[in-house]
């Protein structure tokens, strides 16, 4: 019979949730705040079940064993980006491919443009976030985002 290390319910929840993620990141829920968050994370760090990595904390091999899972193998078909080349050009625009901003740019580059609703659906953002991203495209990247009306009277945005 194997004796498992003593875990608090919070630590067990954090380990099980992180073990189910492909990247093994430990993301405490928003409801875990203040001293409770610090205590749970410190306990996991002290036992060396998590380590700093990827802008946060990730599981170690020992924590996968505690959670009763195996560390997932990284997919072979994913391209890794080097840090200096992380910002690539998407059709001449400096945004990272595969991001929500890239989806926004692709939708705006279509010949018929995109309505705010279409941009919201493409990115998963709310209307005010789409508006702010359009402003950022104008201000930071110098793109000309034009607003026109289509035949139905809807506002249509496109890069012109």
Comparing C-alpha atoms, which of 132, 158, 136, 155 is closest to residue 145? Answer: 158
- Cβ-contact 159, 143 below 8 angstroms: yes
Q: What is the mean pLDDT of residues 79-99?
A: 56
User: Which fold is adopted by the domain 89-159?
Assistant: Arc Repressor Mutant, subunit A (1.10.10)
**What is the three-state SS of 75-113?**
CCCCCCCCCCCCCCEECCEECCCCCHHHHHHHHHHCCCC
Write out the residue limits of the CATH 1.10.10.10 domain(s) in the chain.
89-159
> How far apart (Å, rounded) are the C-alpha atoms in residues 115 and 147?
9
pTM > 0.75: no
Is 78's pLDDT higher than 60? no
Residue 128's pLDDT band, with cuts at 50, 70 and 90, is: very high
Rg (CA), the chain: 22
> How far apart (Å, rounded) are the C-alpha atoms in residues 58 and 134?
34
Q: What is the mean pLDDT of residues 7-26?
A: 84
**pLDDT tens per residue across span 101-121:** 888 888 898 888 899 888 988
**pLDDT tens per residue across span 33-53:** 888 888 888 888 888 888 887
């Amino acid at each position: 019979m194997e004796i498992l290390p003593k875990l608090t319910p919070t630590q067990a929840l954090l380990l099980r949730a992180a073990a189910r993620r492909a990247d093994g990141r430990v993301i405490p829920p928003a409801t875990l705040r203040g001293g409770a968050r610090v205590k749970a994370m410190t306990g996991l760090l002290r036992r060396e079940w998590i380590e700093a990595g990827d802008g946060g904390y990730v599981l170690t091999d020992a924590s996968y064993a505690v959670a009763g899972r195996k560390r997932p193998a990284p997919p072979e078909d994913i391209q890794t980006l080097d840090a200096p080349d992380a910002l690539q050009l998407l059709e001449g625009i400096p945004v990272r491919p595969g991001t929500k901003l890239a989806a926004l740019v692709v939708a705006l580059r279509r010949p018929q443009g995109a309505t705010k609703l279409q941009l919201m659906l493409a990115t998963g953002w709310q209307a005010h976030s789409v508006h702010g991203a359009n402003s950022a495209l104008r201000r930071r990247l110098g793109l000309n985002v034009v607003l026109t009306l289509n035949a139905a009277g809807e506002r249509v945005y496109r890069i012109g």
